[in-house]
Amino acid sequence: MHYDCYYLKINQGEVRAALQKMGRNKAVGPDQIPIEAWRCLENKGVKWLTCLFNKIFSSAEMLKEWRLSKVIPIYKNKGDAQACSNYRGIKLLSHTMKLWKRVIEIRLRREARVLENQFDFMSERSTTEEIHLLRSLMKKYRERQRDLHIAFLDLEKAYDSVTRELVWRTLIDKGTPRRYLRVIRDMYEGAKTYVRTTVRNTKFFPVEVGLHQGSAISPYLFTLILDELSRGIQENISWCMIFTDDIVLIAESAEGLNKRLESWRKALEDNGLRVSREKTGYLRCEFGISGRINEDVAHRIRACWVKWRAASGVLCDRRIPLKLKGKFYKVAIRPAMMTMVDMILNGVFRVVLEVDSIIDKMGEERLRWFGHVKRRPQTAPVRRVEALLVDEARGRGRPKLRWEDRLKMDMKELLLFEDMTSDRNALRDRIRSSRSLCLIASPRLEISIVKKPNVRASEA
């Protein structure tokens, strides 16, 4: 525990670092002051904010104007439009207050730590690592023809269900210094909001439960709460993974999985959190019973076609230059798919629009991710799954194509070696240069238009 940070004043470097982490072009709160205003003031603004934040830090009392917010209900585009549950409330807070919370959130991370099972809002961890870890585990069990039981949990109204007493108790159990506890308590005292509708605005009403939506410190507070509630039932990283309020539990038997599910349900519901019985989506990725990725590929194809149809007005407009259409495709359509582009663009159109084949793009992304995994230390969760051994012999027949097999083919094609992954920039440049050489060596596509003769049925 870092008690040396307890009495330290907030310096300009902390404010500047927090300012860099703030998002851009966000809707303003009731005070109508955007974060861009403080960026334009540069050093003068940082100096003034540092002085203000130190006064708040010493007195543990925010400005009264910062306690006000407004909520805008946004329809989720599904279900009955008259049902309140089908709307997501977006809370707009003061940007200056969000910057203050960001400064405290950075300090709180040094005071209160969480277990490595949590991947969201944690440095050097990501959703992609969690997906890679889960798929690697499924692949190992599929190769050995062993059963693997997986359960996906989602919490209902996670932020809104947290009581303030649970927040304070968690911070105390984590050993948070009293100064930070007082400051965080002050952030929630006297909070009021109103709802903006198409008809009129409601009156201000107090907010006495839940974490603030849109606050910089709320995600980490919820992470601390979930970590403390499940500290006694979390297992090793390969068998329990958490992404904010999404939880995946893995076991080798159905009985063991049911037992763990009951332990999690009891630990969460005893403290006011409820497990959703309906939502089972996890990490924006589809996992099939067979352990293969066919369902995920089909899901991404459907998502791409939705983007394609929505952008048909731009891509089919003859007044828009082809090069601009190519850039639009790279930014808006290809990220939604990343599985197949040959069903949308043939080789001729790829040359005209100056975009790469999705096969080449997928190979490039595979090699980049391979380099990221190899650069991680051996103690990282994404590397530890490589050493996991499954006690069964492989079945008869040809083994399924693995991710590692596909990587070896990519590296052989581009003349790459595993020791090149240590330098990220050098690996990226080598992939691009090797890909360019392969394109130059391949035969060029000749664009030709053949007009078919119009043959009448009577002449035929």
Cα dihedral sign, 226-232-238-240: negative
d(CA 111, CA 82): 44
User: What's the pLDDT band for 197 if we cut at 50, 70, 90?
Assistant: confident
pLDDT digits (tens, 9 = 90+) for 17-39: 999 999 888 888 888 899 999 99
Average pLDDT, stretch 80-105? Answer: 88
**Into which CATH architecture does domain 115-162+210-291 fall?**
2-Layer Sandwich (3.30)
pTM above 0.85, yes or no: no
> Quick one: pLDDT at residue 121?
72
What's the token pair of residue 308?
Answer: 């394609």
What end-to-end distance do the CA atoms of the chain give, in Å? 89
Residue 268, φ and ψ in degrees, nearest 5 = -80, -50
Q: Let me know: does 21 contact 102? Beta carbons within 8 Å.
A: yes
Q: Using CB atoms within 10 A of its CB, is residue 349 exposed (0-12), middle (13-18) or buried (19+)? A: middle
pLDDT in tens, 218-241: 889 998 998 888 888 888 777 888
Residue in 183, 185, 178 with CA at minimum distance from that of residue 58 = 183
Report pLDDT digits (tens) over 282-322: 444 555 555 566 666 676 677 777 777 777 777 778 888 87
* pLDDT tier for residue 326 given thresholds of 50, 70 and 90: confident
pLDDT tens readout for residues 397-444: 667 777 777 778 878 877 787 777 778 888 777 777 766 555 444 444
Q: Which pLDDT score, from 0 to 100, does residue 1 have? A: 46
Q: What is the mean pLDDT of the chain?
A: 78
Q: Domain extents for the chain?
A: 1-111+177-205, 115-162+210-291, 294-391+400-441
Residue 458: predicted pLDDT: 38
User: Could you give the 3-state DSSP secondary structure of residue 68?
Assistant: strand
Task: Give me the helix-helix angle, 358-375 and 127-143, nearest 10°.
Answer: 90
* pLDDT value, residue 314: 76
